Amino acid sequence: MTTNLLRLLPRSDHPALIDPDGRQMTFNELWSDVEGVAADLHERGIRSGDRVVLLIPMSIELYVVLLALFHRGATVTLVDPSADIQTLLTLHPPDAFIGIPKAHALRVTVPALRGLKVYLSTGFTPLPHRRIRRRNTPPPPIEPPSAPALLTFTSGTTSTPKAIARSHAFLVAQHRVLGSHMRFGPGDVDMPTLPVFLLHSLASGATCVVANANLATVGSIDPIPVLNQIETLGVTSISGSPAFFQCLTNHLIATGECAHSVRTVFTGGARVPAALVQALSACMPSAAIEIVYGSTECEPIAVLDALANFDRLSQTTHLGALVGRPVDDVSVRIDGSPNGEILVAGPHVNEGYVDNPEADAAHKIREGDRVWHRTGDAGHLDDEGNLWLVGRVGESINGHWPLVVEGLAEELDFVVRAALVGVDGHPTLAVETRSPPADWAQRIRAHTGLSPIAVNRIPVDTRHNAKVDRNQLAATLKSNPSGSDDPA
């Protein structure tokens, strides 16, 4: 069985990658560049098992370097530039750093990036470095996958980020599970906005389009360049957060346009409102819409055909957020009732954190050869085996669960976004509204059972721009309990 994702990449003249400027690279050209850069990395001293911090935005260059590092058997460390990089890299020290010139400025402010054995850049930087080259000399053989392929970090939304090592075998297992739902091949043109999904698409032989957008702020992208790519390149599938798709559908609805080439939409990372599913269906009329539920430790856990289940998505929010049936390769059980913690186990479930026995003890349950991961999400399975989420464990406030209350509030067409938090132990419902009626507060109270507070903006996470930052919101409401004066 193949245990290195790199070996799954086709060798053909079919387009593999297309960047925002329209530059195309075939799979044969990708292989040539990967082997040329792998030879350069070897000459520069990158060895099997080295931890290499990689800071290059989603681009052709990112995947050439990433796959070249896989070729060398190095462990690629991916960090969010908005995270506390110093703390993360102090706990998990790197051996080398590769980045765009702008990223090298972090070497001035992040001590953990100093004194490494290799510094490589995609362009000029005034700090000591070498430029990445594509050598014509034959590369060394592909290193056997003894070291982890990737070192990534949890989002840290509810705690300090934890490091996760993904082996090559893990990535292959994840690719095979995703392949049961994201069935791609040489005839597909995919626009994945998540790096792991792009690796799956490449390994499937699909053409991957790098979105012409700043994916660091997916909730406020300019939709026009992305929609131009979709139309010009005939994009057939897209994956992204609800915030990303909200930007696209807002523009399409405003202009009366449709994206007819799209056949499949995959969205997740936060609760997907029924209103967004409805908008996607109207704007991408040929598309199946799949809601994907997962976590950094296990992606995917469950998948839902949103259109086939639209009635339940839109009319049964008192049960929480419906995310579908667990995928075939994952086992799910609920620890507690009626809404207990969701536990998962399977070949693509991370079995432990890196150098963090306290986190392992808190989040992993070992039963013989099987490891169950505690997701921290609360929910339940219905009689048909569908999984429903109600919030994070411990987020119930006097019997009110966030995803239940928020879903009910957002059924009202004037509520743009809702968020439930605890302020001094009391359930507090914040709402963003658009053109609210005079009796907006009374209508929300009648629908949810809670009195709302109008706010100008509900803070969200930096990764998906879709999950509510409940700690920040609670602190804001505690200092300003009346919210904004104008609910509009």
Average pLDDT over residues 84-90: 93
The arrangement of secondary structure in 402-479, i.e. its CATH architecture, is 2-Layer Sandwich (3.30)
Among 190-199, 314-323, 476-485, the range scoring the smallest mean pLDDT is 476-485
pLDDT at 1 over 60: no
Helix (H, G, I), strand (E, B) or coil at 376: strand
Distance CA 151, CA 92 (A): 9
Check if the beta carbon of residue 11 is closer than 8 Å to that of residue 28. yes
pLDDT in tens, 118-176: 999 999 999 989 999 999 988 778 777 678 999 999 876 656 789 999 999 889 989 99
Indicate the pTM of the whole model.
Answer: 0.90
Average pLDDT over residues 421-436: 94
> Which ranges in the chain are annotated with CATH 3.40.50.12780?
5-153, 173-333
The chain-wide mean pLDDT, for the chain, equals 92
Q: Which fold has domain 173-333?
A: Rossmann fold (3.40.50)
pLDDT at 464 over 80: no
* Residue type for position 56: I
Task: Respond yes or no on whether the N-terminal peptide bond of residue 338 is cis (omega within 30° of 0).
Answer: yes
| Neighbour count for residue 247 (Cβ, 10 Å) | 20
CATH class of the domain defined by 5-153: alpha beta
Average pLDDT over residues 309-316: 83
pLDDT in tens, 222-233: 999 999 999 999
Dihedrals φ, ψ of 136, to 5°?
Answer: -90, -5
Distance CA 195, CA 203 (A): 13
pLDDT in tens, 363-397: 999 999 999 999 999 999 999 999 999 999 999 99
Q: Which of 56, 59, 50 is nearest to 81 (CA)?
A: 56
pLDDT in tens, 298-307: 989 999 999 9
> Which ranges in the chain are annotated with CATH 3.30.300.30?
402-479
pLDDT at 80 over 90: no
Q: Which of 417, 429, 447 is nearest to 242 (CA)?
A: 417
Sequence-distant (6+) residues with CB within 8 A of 277 are 289, 291, 306, 307, 310, 313, 314
pLDDT at 219 over 90: no
DSSP result, 257-319: ---TT--EEEEESS---HHHHHHHHHHSTT-EEEEEEEETTEEEEEEEETTTTHHHHHH-GGG
pLDDT in tens, 327-344: 988 999 999 988 999 999
Residue in this structure with the two tokens 């996470």, named with its chain if needed:
461
What is the distance between the terminal CA atoms of the chain, rounded to a whole angstrom?
Answer: 58
Check if the beta carbon of residue 275 is closer than 8 Å to that of residue 410. yes
Residue in this structure with the two tokens 């976590």, named with its chain if needed:
295
Residue 484 has what pLDDT? Answer: 64
Average pLDDT over residues 413-432: 94
pLDDT at 485 over 60: no
Residue 303 has what pLDDT? Answer: 96
b/e burial code for range 408-439 (CB count within 10 A of at least 16 → b): bbbbbebbbbbbbbbbeeebbbbbbbeebeee
Among 108-117, 190-199, 263-272, 313-322, the range scoring the smallest mean pLDDT is 313-322
Average pLDDT over residues 188-216: 92
Q: Half-sphere exposure of 250 toward its Cβ, with a 13 Å CA cutoff?
A: 13
- Cα R_g (the chain), whole angstroms: 23
Task: Respond yes or no on whether the N-terminal peptide bond of residue 101 is cis (omega within 30° of 0).
Answer: no
Distance CA 55, CA 344 (A): 31
Among 66-75, 190-199, 252-261, 405-414, the range scoring the smallest mean pLDDT is 190-199
Distance CA 344, CA 333 (A): 7
